[in-house]
Structures are given as C-alpha cells and as structure tokens.
Chain A
Amino acid sequence: MFEGFDPVNLARFQFAFTVSFHIIFPAFTIGLASYLAVLEGLWLATGKPVYMDTFKYWVKIFAVSFGMGVVSGIVMSYQFGTNWSVFSDKTGPVLGPLMGYEVLSAFFLEAGFLGIMLFGQKRVGNGLHFFATLVVAVGTLFSAFWILSVNSWMHTPQGFSIAPYVPIETAPWVADTVASGTSVLPDAPTGGQFVPEDWWAIVFNPSFPYRFVHMVLAAYLTTAFVVGGVGAFHLLRNRYNQSARTMFSMALWMATIVAPIQIFAGDQHGLNTLEYQPAKLAAMEGHFETNVDGPMGLTIFGIPNMETAEVDYEVKLPYLGSLILTHSWDGEIKGLKEFPRDEWPNSTVVFWTFRVMVAIGFAMLGIGLWSLFKRFRGSLYDSEWLQRAMIAMSPAGFIAVLCGWVTTEMGRQPYTVYGLLRTAESHSPIGAPAVGASLVAFIIVYFLLFGAGTFYILRLMGKAPTPFEDETPHHPTRAAGITPAPSLEGRRAPDPAE
C-alpha cells in the first residue's frame, strides 16, 4: 500500500489532518475557559445563582472538549520528531525551548488546576475554586502565546545564525571528550542548525503579535457563537429560561464588540503578511501580474488557475485591492509572477479559504450589529429570526479558524522555515508505506473517537440549562441570604445517563 505515493506529501497531509482536528478543541477551550472564569467571577461578585447554573452547564462541556484537546495535542508534540526529523534537528535549538516554556508555563498549570476546577468544588472553598478556574484560563492563554510564537517564527524567522555542518563522527571536540573521559563542550555548534542569538527577537518575531491577537480573538468569537447558539436553541423552546438568556446576551455582547476589533486585527495581520510574505499575499488575492499600470482591483469571485497563471471567471471591483492592502488608491502589489515558479503557494486553495474566513468575519459583525439594534429596542430575547441566525452561525467560528490556518500554512509553502528550510528537505527518513499506514490509523481513530465526543457534547448542549444545575447548589457565603428553600436543596436534575 502507498508505494506510489510521495512520502513528503503523505506526511504533510498527516500533519494537516492531525493539527486541524487538534486546533478545533483549543479554539473552543481557550474561549470557554475565559468565559467560565468570567461566569464564576460574576457569581462570586453578585451572588446570582444564574451565573453558577450557567457555569455548571458549560463546565461539563469544557471537560469533554479539554480532554480531547489534551490527547490530540500529545500527538502534535511527538509528530515533529516522528515525521519531520530533519526539521526537528535543525530548528530544535530555536523552537524547542519555546515549546519547553509552553509545557512548563501552560500545560502543567492547566493540568494541575483542571482537576480542582472540575472535581474539587466540594473539597476547596469558593475562593480557591475560582482561583483554579482563573489559572486554567490563564494557562490556555500562555499556551497560545508560546505555540503562536513558534509558528510565527517559522513564518518570519529572525534572531538566529546558522551553524556550519560537520558530521558528528568527525567533530574535533567529540574526540577530545572520548579521549579524556570528561566532557568537552564544543566551542561552537556544528550541526548545520539554527543557533539562537537573540531570544527577544525570536519570541517577538515580526508576525507574532498579529498572529497572537488574531488567534485569541478568533477563539473568543468561536466560543461566543457556540455559547450564543446554544442559548438561542433553548430560548426558542422557552423564552424565559434565565440561563439561556444569560448565554445569549453575553455571547452577543462578545460578537458586537470583538467582531469589529477582529476585522481590524485581521487587516493589520494582512499588512504584515504583505511586508514579510508577499508571495503568500499575492496567492491569497489570486494576483498573478503586478499592477504596474494602475490601481489593483479586488477579485471577489474567480478560480485562480495555477497552470495558466490567470483567474478564471474573474469578477473584480476596481481600486479596492490597492485600498485594502496598501491603504491608498493606487498602491502597487507584487504579483505571483515576480517570484520563482517553484515558490508559488497554491493560489486556488488559499484564495478561497481566505475569502470564506473573511466572509464569516463580516457575518459575525452583522449578527453583532443586529443584536445591538434589538438590544436597544428592548427585544433581544424576542426575535426568533435572530435566534435562528445565531444557531445557524454557531459552527461558523470553527470553519473560519480552519480556513484561516489553511490560508496561512499553505501560503507559506514550499517552506517550513520561510525562505530558509524547504518542506521537502524537512521530513524524516520514513517511507510512504509507514506514513500511509499511520495516516489511515489517525483518520479512523480520530473520526471514531472525536466523533463520539462531539456526539456527547451535542447531547449535553441539547439539554436545557436548569436552575441548580447538576446538584446541591453551593452559594458564596456573602450571598447566604438568598439560599433557596430546603426542599430544593437536594434536588437533582434527572440525568438520562443514569
């Protein structure tokens, strides 16, 4: 099996498949962790039970998706070595420590406090429990910080030198070490590796701030549309469900405020790409010829044809391309033809993934403005059409995140480290049959297990949020005055799983 396949392409596909499945969970849990912290904080501050009810509703969903994120993430941390060993050897000195910091400052933090957050409410006080929730939320952001720094460095590498290559067998200090029996460190690295020179420049490489802001906002929006969609679903059944109202309202505030900020951040990210990765930008726009003779139009429809280097069925709006990309009426943008043919990213794909992402961003903005209008009219919870639209949009964030990542990662090809290390030179000495077999195994297992997880999450979302979600309520001491009647104390929502 797989004898005729190119092992590099199989390994690329395996990485794309596993990382795409993985990113779905963090994109959701980064936002959800922050949302849970806000809910618990509001509950402690106001004592209103609806916040704790909503917290308990979402924390069960958080537990399932966080678990899936963890196990799909372990795969990523080993796949660099198994499938991209040359890349690992060369970039390990630069990227390894950043990932090391991610493990030390984020993964342990999340894992250490997750147990307390999920299972410890009866064992620790309210204050400590809130602290645990907060720490988990901060941990998810730390994690995003480091891994996006790693990814960004691969797009815009700086702060390093490249060591000469000397085979390890002949490195002089190795012989000294063996002869003397004590350790002799090399005077200078000899592995042909990227050698870190300036850590500040490496961590805060040019594309990192943009990518970090863009991704965290994307995670927040993704979560907001899931939370809002679930709220809308239950509002359509019972307009007076307090918890559903809370979800719906908070999610729409998030959409109203963050969607425009995200569009601005995306625009800034695009300008950064234009500066550092002009070939990627040209591919995203289906821009083959440099617009030497006047302003660049914006192609709103078309199919970039990589064979003929033209856009088929093109529909163009004048001036807009120059305006958006250079913020001037007639700015000149380099076309793909300025770059060597073997360095063209696949424009057919990234042209469309980019447009889908942007369209979803503007749809989110539209929903946000619509809800703002309804909110000021005092009819936020009464508009069934807004609720239906919110339900329809609930998976939109995931689609936008995946499209955005496909755009930026395929747009970087044919390099893993932009301009310096080619994808074709990065992979492990592993044949197509082995990579093909593992790819098939990943596909089967991921669809089976994460499919089951998605089913359980959807079933949890299908249950209406109820007061005193789950079990005996635990109120903050300062809110003791509103403790419900004793008859409600032991009440337990019937659980079909029991």
Chain B
Amino acid sequence: MDLAVLWAFLIAFAVVAYVILDGFDLGTGILFPLLGRHENRDVAMNSVAPIWDGNETWLILGGGGLFAVFPLAYAIIMPAIYAPIIAMLLGLIFRGVAFEYRFKTVRGRWMWDASFFLGSFVAAFCQGVALGALVQGIEVEGRAYAGGWWDWLTPFTMMTGVAVVVGYTLLGATWLVMKTEGEVHDLARRYAYFFGVSTLVAIAVVSAWMPFEQAEFYIRWFTLPQFFYVAWVPLLVALAAFSLFQALWSGKHHRPFLSALALFLLCFVGLGINFYPHIIPPDVTIWQAAAPESSLKFLLVGAAVLIPVILAYTAFAYWIFRGKVREGEGYH
C-alpha cells in the first residue's frame, strides 16, 4: 500500500469519526424543540457538553488533513461548495456558543435553545449537501474548480441534506436513550423509532439514486459480477436495522446507539466503494491530489504516534463522564 492510499484511509477515518461523534451531538441539538420541558433540554445538553469540543476537532482534522495531504482536493472542493461550507461554519458557531450562553441567562434561554437547534440543523443539512455535491461530481479544469457557484444546488443534494439531518437525529435520539433516564429517555426512545424508519427510507432513496449520478457508480452496484462483491453492504444494513428496532422494542439502553453507529459505518463503506480510487469523482484520483512524498511522510510520523494517543485519552474522557446524566446534575 502506498502512502497516498494510506492517507486516504486516514482521512476517511477522521471523517467517519467526525460524522458519528459530532453526528450524535448535532442530532441532540436537532431534537431540542421536541424535548418538552427546559429541564429535559438541560439534561440533553449536559449529556454532550463535556465532549462536543473533542467531537468537533475531528472536523478540523478532516479539513486540515485534506489541506496537508491532498491539497489539490482541498483547493477544488472548498470553492465548489462555497455556500454550504460557509453556512455550515456559521451553523456550528450558533450551536457552539449555545453550550455556554444558555446557562448564563433565564430570560434569554429560549434564544439559545433556538440557536442550538437551528445551528445544529443547518450544520447537519449543509454537511449532507456538501456530500451530495461531491457525489454528483465537481467540474475541474487544470488545477481549479471550473463550475458555477450554484452547482451544488440540485434535487439530489437536497435529498442528501435531508438524509444526513434524519440520520444525525437518529444518532442523537439513540444517544439520549443511552445517556438519560425518565422522561427524556422515554421521549428519545419514541423519536428513535420515527427517525429510525426515516433514516432507512433516506438510505434507500439515496442508495437507489446515487448510481444514476455517475456512470462508474452504476457499474459498481448494478452490473454483474460487480454486484456480488458489494452485496454484503445492503445485507448488513438490513441486519443493523433489525438490531436497532429489536433493541428499541426490548428496552435496551446501549444497543440502539451502537446499531445506529453501525448503520452510519455501513453507509460510509458504501460511499467508499463508490469513490475509490477517486477523491473527486470522476476526475481526480487520490494519487493526483496527493501532496509530495516528503509531506505525506512528515505528517504520517505524527499521525502514527499521536492518533492512538488521542483515541486513548478521548476514550478516557468518555469513561470519566460515563453513565446516565440526571436532572439537576448540571455541570454548570
């Protein structure tokens, strides 16, 4: 395996880590208006308050890593999805500040509730749009983006936007099932059913639609014998979905969340199958976009040493804040 491929896997790892980690805390934000009493919202927010910052750092690693090891991809993708990226960044600001501001006021609390919900929703939707824009193809000329600045706005990207919102909300709901008890727990369990079904529908629609966006995707999924190499992905999706609903039905606390994570991982694997070996389909491969070898090597040393350490202390932080978050047990 050469360095460019290794780095493609590392960046993919950072992105998937971001999606599932910030996924559940953005999802918690999207559920905010549906949680009833403000004490319930306190509990929901406190369940992610100590860890959201670390979760969002994976987004910086995804972006910063792309800049470092695939600078050409970074330079082409970011201008191509200019508007959704800016909107996502602004959304992340709205929700990020709410973690602190919300506990500084009583009269203005509704404002920061709204800010937390809207910021989470916009960030999730824009991430979906960005993904859709990448999937449907980006026009490249020389070493630059050559399309218009509304190219990202299509029915397909709106669909992927909705899919990511729904999926994150499922992650958030199952996270709350795991981390809370009483009223919030019961509410979250009910929402998990609804968003579980919605997520499956969204996965089905996007999966069926995607192969028609680019010829190469079609070949990988809808022709023989290619189909047999990839058929295990939809089979495992079905299994994860069964596990999710069975666990919700039988009152399990942890398994709904783990099943939802499995769904996300499988979707990500499916995307990877579409993309490889391209980083911007259909034009740019990972080797074309890769930085010179000295760059790949220099950062790889740090990544090899530091990523395991990061995973260890991140796990430690989750372990410190393990268990159920109780009402009135605010950290603030």
Contacts and interface: CB of A to CB of B under 8 A. Distances in A.
Interface of A: 63-64, 67-68, 70-75, 77-78, 80-82, 85-86, 88-97, 99-105, 107-116, 118-120, 123-124, 163, 167-168, 171, 173-174, 177-178, 183-186, 189, 191-193, 195-197, 199, 428-431, 434, 438, 441-442, 445, 449-450, 452-453, 456, 459-460, 497-498
A71 B96 contact: yes
B94 interface: yes
Contact of A438 (B71, B75, B86, B104): B86
Given A108-B310, A185-B4, A103 B61 contact: yes
B294 A445 contact: no
Report, nearest first, the 10 A-B pairs whose CB atoms are least far apart: A92-B71, A96-B68, A81-B78, A115-B50, A119-B331, A71-B96, A89-B75, A111-B54, A85-B75, A93-B291
A183 B292 contact: no
Contact of B104 (A124, A450, A459): A459
B158 interface: no
Interface in B79-99: 79, 82-83, 85-86, 89-90, 92-94, 96-97, 99
B171 to A, nearest CB: 19
Contacts of A118: 50, 331
A67 B96 contact: yes
7 contacts: A78-B78, A88-B71, A95-B67, A100-B65, A102-B64, A191-B72, A497-B104
Interface in B83-142: 83, 85-86, 89-90, 92-94, 96-97, 99-101, 103-106, 115, 142
A75 B293 CA distance: 28
Given A88-B74, A449-B97, 14 more contacts: A67-B99, A75-B89, A75-B93, A88-B78, A92-B291, A97-B68, A102-B64, A114-B53, A123-B321, A178-B285, A185-B2, A189-B291, A191-B143, A196-B292
Given A89-B75, A104-B61, A456-B101, A70 B143 contact: no
Given A97-B299, A104-B310, A112-B317, A71 B93 contact: yes
Interface string B312-327: 0110110011000000
B320 A96 contact: no
Given A118-B331, A183-B277, A498-B106, A96 B90 contact: no
Contacts of A445: 90, 93-94
Contacts of B101: 64, 452-453, 456
Interface stretch (B211-219, B239-247, B300-308): B300-308
Contact of A77 (B63, B104, B145, B331): B63
Contacts of A177: 285, 287
Interface centre among A75, A97, A434 (most CB of B within 10 A): A97
A113 B317 contact: yes
A441 B86 contact: yes
Interface string B267-311: 000000000010000001101100111110011001100110010
A185 B65 contact: no
A442 B331 CA distance: 31
Nearest to A184: B287
Nearest to A123: B320
Nearest to A202: B298
Contact of B321 (A100, A115, A183): A115
Contact of A497 (B3, B59, B106, B331): B106
Contacts of B228: none
A338 to B, nearest CB: 35
Contact of B74 (A92, A116, A124, A434): A92
A95, A173, A429 — which one has the most chain B CB atoms within 10 A of its CB? A429
B97 A68 contact: yes
Contacts of B59: 74
A81 B288 contact: no
A110 B54 CA distance: 8
B153 interface: no
B302 to A, nearest CB: 5
B79 A430 contact: yes
A115 B317 contact: yes
Given A96-B67, A113-B313, A183-B277, A168 B288 contact: yes
B92 A74 contact: yes
